[in-house]
Structure 1
């Protein structure tokens, strides 16, 4: 090793190659360390590739959805060779949303939806593979009964957003032409003339950015920690190289070569893990959202960045770790350097706050957020946890003394090398800090994306909205719904606009028609018999200053009052009607759908007749017993009566779909991160136990009880975890408060959720410790003293 001088490049090449020989040809210990490093790095690389592939997968998903969209589709007024009648027929079954379209080709050149070979004929149905499996299963029996059509084909991938999507196209030659009475039907000549806008407001964009940063930063921390597996055993081997003449720079380059090989092995394993995870992606569905495996395709520049950055980071981290290690021919000594200083560690959180602070003082909600500035600030604040934790752990364990033998063994080990313990806990601390911050932000802004609807599901679980032209079937439908098993009652109501003159413009009121039982859902009417009418109090004033609600005995018009003389429907003129002179004034109440009516109430015999297609009709359905099955029965009954009369499920709270999707993505991303954390911690724990094999065996040989050693290992894990989670909780609360200030939300701390997240981190570590006990017991056997 003391040959003639060589250039720096040749020296690096020679020493890196020697390090590679030690990594792969250094016996069982050498390749075991390389394998552990490769697994740790590979898991991080795989999750990094999967996480960064998600935006591209969502873009591909949206592109396929836009290709079949009816939003902005090219429409035609008259039928022709290239026109297609299409109407939405979405369904809900077992709390799953099913997208449906009804089609009728008016000519041989009618557009064909993506994924179909031809437009299905009347009575034919083409379904997605997932819907086909559902319809063929026992669980889909009620849905088969509802749809009823014969399945003649399967939708290809290019017509689906994902493999788990539930979608069908149904042929029907009885579709009416689009018009004022049938606004749900479109006549198109091509799909998706203009892509559907999918922009997110700045707050939601910030939430997406925070989610990715909070999930990927711990992955980077794990990758950096994984390249340092087996450091103590490696340093002893380097001391042997010093004994045969290698200088300090040479052994450091050899160590870098070993780390480089472990990182390269990690890249190979990470590619394998990524391909395996991508293959499983097609069988997973997150809140009915799924992606095809081939959509998870990282961009070439990202692959190149990972391929270069991971090996470079491995070499850099290794050289940085050896800066305080003195490798001499007769052994290894870690320099008794001054205690870790805190001043430079505080620069990271200060820099992060410096990047985030300006965002809260300007109107980025209108201008858009600077993603690099916001992301950089969050990354700095999270990385600050990793640099503060070693200092805090050193200060904490340095003051501990006394206690049981197991405690003293653990404390002494941490005092001798707190850095290794901090590295093991860094990832979980960063993950918990990010999770707490995100939970605070989601809680702080949820009131902007979750709003009470005023609906009362206890009074009515479903509202069936009848379309124009089916008014004669209202009572028949209500009877069928009431006879459905599990339904307590079905209340039909009819609403129609009324005015003193026509055309009415904006001086209109409303007339609600229903039985006495039905009218009690919208007003406190007291005693009621068929033939009664009522005036609702609080009707307001018209623009001219008069009351909007007609008075008893007044002659008014009902039905086609606003479009009469403008776009009059044949045979549907306004109906003259006199408000019964005996109509009593009653107080309105909110109906089950959350609506407070104004105007008039009338029982059927007192109401005007021949109102045509202008009234709006709905049936409120109250259920009992097994709600989920009953709701499906109600939807089936409504579908059979009229497929275009939607059964709307009533809910107390409505949620923004984008907000819900982001929150769902965060949940499943956090679940994947926990799996990575658990696996990486287990690998790290096994690596540390492997390096201490001889010491553990020697202690047992000298009479130390195995239980004492087991407890010492537990304390060595519990102490850093307690310190790390305490720091993570404080950092998460600080970051969350800062982000809420940036978004303008109120700072609220849900201590139950905070403690639950910290407890989840502690539970992961406890599980890893439990899984490491069997290897620990094997390492305590006397053959651990064997050496060469």
Structure 2
């Protein structure tokens, strides 16, 4: 007889358990397949998670390869030069990026994804943009980008399959190639690295991964315990033929190991299917190519090893309170009440890890990622330890009052409270993590949301362009003003002036516009064409670049900064110029310098100036914003149409929040799928019992309602516990980031309601199989 616990005995017993899993007939295959399905769903999500870093890196690399931030430039046209300008725009809720291109020689550099440049009036677009422009939804966009589509941009030139990108050919860039709006480049290159995230944002990234992956681990741990009652009866039969207690436990671990291995295979298959479907999925404007979802080998290997090992460990841990005898199974945990003391150690240990980091915020260096991860995991896993104890105490106090369905549900929960808790653990952990993250995001959002100073009530959008000439700006304003849905369009031109020919002593802002336009930036006592005003009440730039002038002063305008080109013109401030109090423009800027009407303005307004057209939309006209953007693009493709907003969130914070939304969506799908599989497995285990109850006259509606109660009661307790843990964790995290603790109860209710909604949907989906299982022929035994 071999010595118990030797390596060979472990191998043989695990192999025997695997054979039972595959050779147990239809019953065994069904049980193993259910286990594999539950584990496989978790494995698929784990593989997707391990592939996220490589997917993001691939998107960033392709995005950098088509940029020109650090590209080599040229002063004069040549065989290898390209004139390029940005043509980014927005369309409804989508951001569309584009470039206007004009090659100046046969060797002009091609960006990734293009085989040749589109000619004047032609477009090269991404497949996603091509599809959008061909739909009814893209009608206004077709009017804006009215060139002929001659080619599609290849994958190498796109950050993702849903990327909305275009190249528009033109022959009008040479006159504006000054390096500000239009660049002359010889390469496509961007070697500028993004700055590292600050400590709080880095903490958010860690928390998102931990809070989303912990429920996955809980699901996998629950999945490997499918079919526990039938398995225990088989183990009792093994004791009857001579196997000892250690042997049957190792055999049980072998069965779980087989299910986990099947789960690895199925999970890999699910992942490969999801990988091929990835181009069709776009969340918050983000999408990836199938090749981007490439798990890192080390992380994939960790998943492949940890999942089977966890299956064995969970099974052995679950059998610690089970006495398997030759004539049956005795669960020692049933008569002995669960103890609370050791269950409290997990959340207390988690708080102990997080407490030393309270009050650090962004000013005391980075948070220890391992310490944060360990503390959060212990707190969340503490739910899985506390919920069985809480459920046992609550259902143990419930008496026999109530209807038949309620009594059936309570009795079932009293007998198998541990099984019911396992079904709810995943939802509870996910909800607790979501509540904590929601609190933290809401708490720190103010630190990453800035007040722009813009006033959307005065202007819905601002069209920014080069000042050029006054005629150009007026034509842009008239083109927009004549568009349907525009209440008014106010053009303002701002050019620099100086007391010296080359602006050695600083510059003076010269704002030119009609009286109506000037009233947007100054409090004018009275105004007619030919007037000029000296602005007061606005501080100058701290470096002295701006100043003011008085009536009769001589100023230079025009070419103030370029050594080559025409000499600056001399302009005299009108002698009757009056003072005017400066007002903030719709962009929130308080201007300095002079306000001048067209009749009094210098004749030469060229130079490094800017022009803006403030546009007020008619809210009664649908798509007025898109019509204005289209009019602006047609009048000046280099103009930037910006929607005014009173506040803006930083890109980094918005990206992390988007990642949380994507991850939470995937976890919710996993919650529903895993819970449905668990529910079906539980119903299959009780097939004969349900059939017997129906055969003795129990109404089907009573049994269906009983199943609903059996789900609702653990869910309610689980969500209550998850809310308490989530609020506690959220408060600790907010203290760590040094923000006041505030609770948004509507968000908490939404998180808890999402978990309850998933459970309700799963219960409704399980009712049709339940009705089929309640047939009298379910009592047949072969």
> What is the TM-score when the length of structure 1 is the normalising length?
0.93
In 1: Cα distance, 2:457 partner to 2:359 partner: 45
Counterpart selection for 1:641 from 635, 638, 645: 635
Other-structure match for 1:50:
48
Tell me the SS of whatever aligns to 2:264. helix
Q: Which moved more, 1:494-503 or 1:129-138?
A: 494-503
Taking the aligned partners of 1:691 and 1:381, their CA distance within structure 2 comes to 32
Take 1:323 and 1:744, find their aligned partners in 2: how far apart are those partners?
44
Determine the C-alpha separation between the residues in 2 that align with 1:20 and 1:544: 78
Partner secondary structure for residue 673 of structure 1: helix
Distance 1:364 1:92 in 2: 34
Per-residue deviation, residues 310-333 of structure 1 (Å, max 9, x unmatched): 111111111111111122222211
SS in 2 for 1:273: helix
Distance 1:577 1:29 in 2: 98
Aligned to 2:286: 289
Aligned to 2:444: 445
The equivalent of 2:386 in structure 1 is 388
Q: Supply the distance in 2 between the matched residues of 1:137 and 1:23 (Cα, whole angstroms).
A: 53
- In the alignment, the residues of structure 2 paired with residue 165 and residue 61 of structure 1 have an alpha-carbon distance, to the nearest angstrom, of 10
1:315 corresponds to which residue? 312
Quick one: distance in 2 between partners of 1:742 and 1:363? 6
Counterpart of 1:229 in 2: which secondary structure?
coil
Deviation at 1:307, TM superposition (A): 1.6
Aligned pair partner of 2:617 in 623, 636, 643: 623
CA distance in structure 2 between the aligned counterparts of 1:390 and 1:7, rounded to whole angstroms: 31
Map 1:256-295 → 2, pairs under 5 A: 256-295=253-292
In 2, Cα distance between equivalents of 1:294 and 1:549 = 59
Q: Corresponding residue for 1:98?
A: 96
The one-character-per-residue Cα deviations of 1:353-408 (angstroms, maximum 9, x if unpaired) are 23323333557656433322222222222112111212222222222223213333
C-alpha contact (below 8 Å) 1:490/1:619 kept by paired residues: yes
Aligned to 2:132: 134
Residue 403 (structure 1) aligned with residue 408 (structure 2): no
Q: CA distance change for structure 1 residues 705 and 140 in 2, over 3 Å: closer, same or farther?
A: closer
CA RMSD of aligned residues (A): 2.6
Q: CA deviation at 1:549?
A: 4.2
Offset at 1:637?
1.7
- Describe the SS at the equivalent of 1:190: coil
8 Å contact 2:74–2:81 — kept in the other structure? yes
Residues 498 and 556 of structure 1 are in contact (CA less than 8 Å); yes or no, is this contact kept in structure 2?
Answer: no
Counterpart CA distance in 2 for 1:640 and 1:582 is 37
Within 5 Å, which residues of 2 pair with 1:331-346?
A: 331-335=328-332, 336=334, 338-346=336-344
Name the CA distance, whole Å, in 2 between partners of 1:400 and 1:229: 27
Question: CA separation in 2, counterparts of 1:738 and 1:645?
Answer: 47
**CA separation in 2, counterparts of 1:301 and 1:539?**
60
Query: Which of 558, 571, 574 lines up with 1:576 in the alignment?
Result: 571
Contact 2:253 2:316 (8 Å CA) reproduced:
yes
Q: What is the CA distance between 1:645 and its match in structure 2?
A: 1.6
1:203 aligns with one of 177, 200, 204: 200
Cα 1:363–1:726, aligned 2, differ >3 Å: closer, same or farther? closer
- From 733, 736, 740, the equivalent of 1:746 is 740
* Inter-partner Cα distance in structure 2 for 1:638 and 1:363: 44
CA shift in 2, pair 1:5/1:452, >3 Å? closer
Does the 8 Å CA contact 1:481/1:637 hold for their aligned counterparts? Answer: yes
Cα distance in 1 for residues equivalent to 2:474 and 2:644: 21
- 1:425 aligned residue: 424
Distance (Å, rounded) in 2 between the aligned partners of 1:663 and 1:539? 38
Q: Is the 8 A contact 1:37 1:266 kept in 2?
A: yes
Give the TM-score, by structure 2 length.
0.94
Residue among 343, 353, 356 paired with 1:355 = 353
Most deviating of 753-762 and 391-400: 391-400
- For the pair 1:455 / 2:450, whether they are aligned, the reply is no
Tell me the alpha carbon deviations over residues 197-217 of structure 1, each in whole angstroms, 9 at most, x when there is no partner. 253222222212111111111
Offset from partner CA, 1:558-582 (integer Å, 9 cap, x none): 535xx84x63453351532224426
Q: Could you give the per-residue CA deviations for residues 95-122 of structure 1, whole angstroms, max 9, x where no partner exists?
A: 3222112223333333221122234444
- Contiguous gaps of at least 5 residues in structure 1: none
Q: Hey, what's the Cα distance between the residues in 1 that align with 2:460 and 2:301?
A: 54
- State the aligned residue count: 779
1:651-678 CA-to-partner distances (Å, cap 9, x unmatched) read: 2221211211221221122111111111
Is residue 766 of structure 1 aligned with residue 760 of structure 2? yes
Q: Matches of 2:118 and 2:636 in 1, distance apart?
A: 20
Q: What is the CA distance between 1:727 and its match in structure 2?
A: 1.1
Q: CA deviation at 1:235?
A: 0.9
How do 1:527-538 residues align onto structure 2 when only pairs under 5 Å count?
Answer: 527-538=526-537
The structural deviation recorded for 1:535 is 3.8
Name the CA distance, whole Å, in 1 between partners of 2:101 and 2:542: 45
- The whole-number CA distance in structure 2 between the counterparts of 1:290 and 1:198 is 23
Output the CA distance in 2 between the equivalents of 1:582 and 1:20.
95
State yes or no: 1:222 paired with 2:215. Answer: no
| Deviation for aligned residue 1:5 | 7.0
Q: CA deviation at 1:780?
A: 2.5
More displaced, 441-450 or 517-526?
A: 517-526
| Secondary structure of 2:68 counterpart | coil
Cα 1:497–1:5 shift into 2, 3 Å? closer
- The reply to whether residue 776 of structure 1 matches residue 770 of structure 2 is yes
Partners of 1:28 and 1:419 in 2: how far apart?
27
* Residues 1:594 and 2:588 aligned together: yes
Q: Deviations for 1:100-157, whole angstroms, at most 9, x for unmatched residues?
A: 1222333333322112223444444322111222233343343333233332222211
CA contact (8 A) 1:429 1:725 kept: yes
| Inter-partner Cα distance in structure 2 for 1:544 and 1:128 | 45
Kept in 1, the 8 Å contact 2:66–2:189? The answer is yes
2-structure distance, mates of 1:11, 1:117: 64
